[in-house]
Structure 1
């Protein structure tokens, strides 16, 4: 025995679900895979729990971009943000380089290290930040496969770390490369380096 009421409910429901699915799929297809680039001279805001030092500058100046990246990897305040916030701040610098986000984040402490800092209510700030290059780094620009506008820098800075009533100054060094075409973005980097 057929149930005419069941078919009157099932068929319109199936049609409504089908239309919804088509609309959702069409909307996903309209999204651009590239993020819209902000206007030069502005900054990229990552949310309310970010520190001012984490704002990504929108610039065509590779030196200024490298200095800003040093500030984001060496500045934190565990009373104001958690580890995810810091990682998100670093991620805004990553750009479209293959694996860029993972490499940029690799210059941060680990989750466990951050947890130890948070237990101590630690905060870190950086001063006397420099970004310099060497003839060897400049010669890398001639290699094939590097994007136009690619530059590499050695970052140096002094990080003041405050835990409770104790303050320590740590010398920091890292290497970073950026690519500046329409605007600068992170290309690659490595953590603490010895010179």
Structure 2
């Protein structure tokens, strides 16, 4: 992009480019140059909108956490409808079929990014923490409908589901689990 030409929606364009690089090449390939090349803009565009590259990455992660809020709300609204297994299968395969696994790897691999994120997300692993809370809230709602037994510890069950499903999807270069495989896993973990 020529110097001096305004770029519409620069932040979102840079975020989308970063996602594509993350998904295609992994966290180790994510550099400011890779992002701006993927976005088709000059490197200065990134620095015009963000203080530095870790600042850009922190904003990317926080933006993706905000997007997770919509998924969490949809899951919560599904309480009492459909089946618990299908609702959880949809949420977890959508979550981990997206850029979430790559963002977790990125967060773990960059000390500067983790330090920035601690200001906004003081505990846990960003994305996993918020997704885990969404699952626990949903399970609690299903408990009020009697679809999860009253004595079930929904905190432990939620953490088990989010952590184990993350592990199923964690190998970005291997074969992704299928929806039926995720459904089978969830069915095996849920109390009868």
Common fold: TM-score over 0.5? no
Q: Which is higher, the Rg of structure 1 or of structure 2?
A: 1
The TM tier, using the shorter chain, reads under 0.3
